[in-house]
Homo-oligomer: A and B are copies of this chain.
Amino acid sequence: MAGRSKRRDLAAMLAPLVRDTIAAERPVLEAHGLSMWGYSVLVALDESPIRTQAALAEAIGADKTRIIATLDELQAQGYIERHPDPADRRARLLAITGPGRAVKDAAQQEIQQGEERLLGELTDTDRRVFLRVLDRLSRRP
């Protein structure tokens, strides 16, 4: 059986799109006083608390060393809580706070509203399929 029809590489199509969406997020996050990594952390902790910083870093695709400054800042802003685990004082129990959830929800609403500029061009079917496939592919191990 022969190959499939000619197409561009996935990375070549994904790269400019991710660049645009991140560029669109930047001013929104800045207006809410959040960094890109800070927002990532809030989104992750909004789903559920996490028991170690290393696990959080892995969950958001970051290095454990480079989220520390982010966590310091989020804690100073009162958006997360960071307590030593009584059962193992090496680990830090991480959780989002009420104000943290509020600022994350506000920023996220604005971000997704902006993304309608893109998604709004699609038919309902295309939109639904695209988001479903994208969600699935992005969750691969």
The complex places the Cα of A115 from the Cα of B62 at a distance, in Å, of: 24
- The oligomer's copy count stands at 2
**CB of A40, distance to nearest CB on chain B (Å):** 7
The complex places the Cα of A61 from the Cα of B129 at a distance, in Å, of: 28
The complex places the Cα of A118 from the Cα of B14 at a distance, in Å, of: 14
Interface size on A, residues (CB 8 A): 41
- Give the interface segment out of A20-28, A48-56, A81-89: A20-28
Say yes or no: B135 contacts A133, CB within 8 Å.
no
Say if the beta carbon of A137 comes within 8 Å of chain B.
yes
**CB of A66, distance to nearest CB on chain B (Å):** 15
| A contacts, CB < 8 Å to B | 7-22, 25, 40, 43, 61, 108, 111-112, 115, 118-119, 121-122, 125-126, 129-138, 140
The 3 closest A-B pairs by CB, nearest first: A13-B138, A14-B18, A11-B21
